[in-house]
Amino acid sequence: MQEKLPILITGGTQRLGLAITLSLVKAGYELIVTYRTPKESIDVLQKMGVKCIRTDFEKSSSVAELVDIVAQEYGMLRAVIHNASDWLAEDDVPCSELMDRMFKVHVNAPYQINIGLSDLLMKGSSNDENQGADIIHFTDYVVEKGSDKHIAYSASKAALANLTLSFAKKLSPQVKVNSIAPSLLKFNDEDDEEYRAKALAKSLLQIEPGEQEAVAAVEYILSSRYMTGRTIALDGGRHLA
């Protein structure tokens, strides 16, 4: 059986990222995950053989240090999945700092990681022509419509969506680059009933599908040989509601 290559996923220790990590470990891949905050899942993942690297993309030099660690320890990569994200609102953070924070996590980190690890992805692609190599950016439905409560967040995700187009051109034909644009997939524990009801009503399908919706989209992109520079929208038909 063809040896599975390593996959790097940022923010891979909770919620969507953790579900994707576990599915890829089960599929036989070697996983490298980043996290910012220590939590119980990290010990479990390490016992499964997952390489867990602590990093905060808001801290300068953190991204360069991450790239150095991965480049030194791994000879090639099957995929890089940019999942890490901070969903901050203008009500929560002064606008004088919020845009900078959002661009550090959602744009600068993916940008530097893609450039810094492109050689490893190219080698991963040539390792098995049937598999190729992938970069996946987790953007957001709000890239299409904007957001009046998460303006800086939305703008940074729109910039991330543009990175998909640029890197798809730069890294073809060896590496496919695609976005996954969710709307509501999984509530946060602190979301109250009123918020949940309003959020569910925003889409045609009116459900909270959970992490497996994102897992399935990642699995499809990894299996595809002919999609690049595109976006998979996981939004329950919200654009028609």
Ligand X SMILES: NC(=O)C1=CN([C@@H]2O[C@H](COP(=O)(O)OP(=O)(O)OC[C@H]3O[C@@H](n4cnc5c(N)ncnc54)[C@H](OP(=O)(O)O)[C@@H]3O)[C@@H](O)[C@H]2O)C=CC1
Told to check if 188 binds ligand LV4SOB2L by CB under 6 A, we report yes
Backbone phi and psi for residue 96, each to the nearest 5 degrees, phi listed first: -65, -20
85 binds ligand LV4SOB2L (CB under 6 A): yes
Q: Which residue is associated with the tokens 């028609």? A: 240
The interface with ligand LV4SOB2L within residues 136-155 (CB under 6 A) comprises: 140
Name the residue among 170, 181, 192 with its Cα closest to residue 221.
181
Q: Which is nearer to ligand LV4SOB2L, 10 or 62 (CB)?
A: 10
Q: Which of 29, 111, 153, 220 is catalytic?
A: 153
17 binds, among ligand X, ligand LV4SOB2L, none (CB under 5 to 8 A by kind): ligand X
Considering only CA atoms, which of 212, 60, 228 is closest in space to residue 135?
228
- Is 220 a residue of the active site? no
Give which of ligand X, ligand LV4SOB2L, none residue 16 binds (C-beta under 5 to 8 Å, depending on kind): ligand X
Could you tell which of ligand X, ligand LV4SOB2L, none binds residue 199, using a CB distance below 5 to 8 A set by kind? ligand LV4SOB2L
Q: Count Cβ neighbours within 10 Å for each residue of 206-218 and write b for 16 or more, e otherwise.
A: eeebebebbbebb
Per-residue burial over 94-121, b = 16 or more CB atoms within 10 Å of its CB, e = otherwise: eeeebbebbbbbbbbbbbbbbebbbebb
In whole angstroms, the minimum distance from the beta carbon of 200 to ligand X comes to 12
Q: Which residues of this protein are in contact with ligand LV4SOB2L, per CB under 6 A?
A: 85, 87, 140, 183-184, 188, 199
